[in-house]
């Protein structure tokens, strides 16, 4: 028996069935993909932090904010850039201001001596760079002379001014053994009025 040819209507129904099956498979695959990502995202969701952890984080945030709001305290920078040492006579420090009191002497290099009535002596000319005023500061000179291993210490009170200035510190009169004598070792320390170290310098042999 010869099979009857398939009608066009039946072929169309068959094609429609195939199309529906393909659509159902695609819809099933899409649902599976959604389910997979939902599972992944569900497992990767961060857990809630305990209350104690949140309190700790909040404390750290407050501390960081406080540090940002509080301005940094200014610091004073001072440095002894050079020291010249040698014997000098009183005439080396003659100034016009000593003979004409009306002249401005604020720019002169201060002369600090251990004995006011004797200006001949061994001097340490200290060049200081200072970025802020420091009233009531002290300059401490410790020196070992050729006649004694024990250091002599002399302290001078000064008002430091900003900028570069040279301070002439003299061990004068009977405090220095002779014009030909030279120090064995020395140390210079500059402190603020409250005792804070501002600058220091020492010779090679000072321990």
Residue 199 pairs in a beta bridge with 190
Give Dmax over CA atoms of the chain in angstroms: 151
What is the model's pLDDT at position 147? 92
112 Cβ partners below 8 Å, 6+ apart?
139, 156, 158, 167, 168, 169, 170
What is the model's pLDDT at position 128? 96
Instruction: Say how many C-beta atoms besides its own lie within 10 A of residue 198's C-beta.
Output: 21
DSSP string, 69-99: HSPPPP---EEEEEEEEEEE-GGGG--HHHH
**Which two three-digit tokens encode residue 106?**
């604020």
Q: Please check the confidence at residue 183 and state whether its pLDDT lies above 90.
A: yes
Average pLDDT over residues 150-165: 95
**Which two three-digit tokens encode residue 19?**
């199309």
Give the domains, in start order, of the chain with CATH numbers.
Answer: 9-69 (no CATH), 78-202 (2.60.40)
Q: Based on C-alpha coordinates, what's the Rg of the chain?
A: 45
Q: Tokens 């002599």 appear where? A: 152
**Which two three-digit tokens encode residue 157?**
């009170």
State percent of the chain over pLDDT 90: 50
**Which two three-digit tokens encode residue 153?**
């210490």
pLDDT digits (tens, 9 = 90+) for 118-150: 999 999 999 999 999 999 999 999 999 999 999
């Amino acid at each position: 028996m010869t099979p009857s040819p398939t009608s066009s209507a039946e072929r169309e129904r068959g094609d429609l069935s195939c199309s529906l099956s393909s659509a159902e498979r695609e819809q099933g695959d899409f649902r599976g993909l959604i389910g997979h990502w939902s599972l992944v995202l569900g497992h990767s969701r961060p857990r809630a932090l305990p209350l104690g952890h949140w309190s700790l984080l909040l404390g750290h945030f407050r501390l960081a904010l406080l540090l940002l709001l509080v301005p940094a305290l200014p610091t004073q920078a001072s440095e002894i850039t050079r020291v010249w040492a040698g014997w000098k006579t009183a005439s080396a420090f003659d100034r016009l201001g000593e003979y004409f009191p009306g002249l401005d002497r604020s720019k002169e290099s201060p002369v600090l001596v251990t004995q006011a009535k004797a200006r001949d002596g061994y001097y340490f000319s200290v060049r200081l760079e200072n970025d802020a005023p420091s009233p009531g500061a002290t300059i401490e000179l410790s020196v070992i002379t050729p006649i004694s291993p024990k250091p002599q210490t002399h302290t001078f009170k000064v008002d430091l001014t900003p900028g570069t200035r040279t301070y002439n510190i003299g061990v004068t009169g009977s405090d220095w053994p002779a014009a030909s004598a030279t120090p064995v070792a020395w140390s210079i320390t500059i402190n603020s009025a409250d005792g804070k170290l501002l600058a220091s310098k020492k010779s090679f042999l000072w321990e």
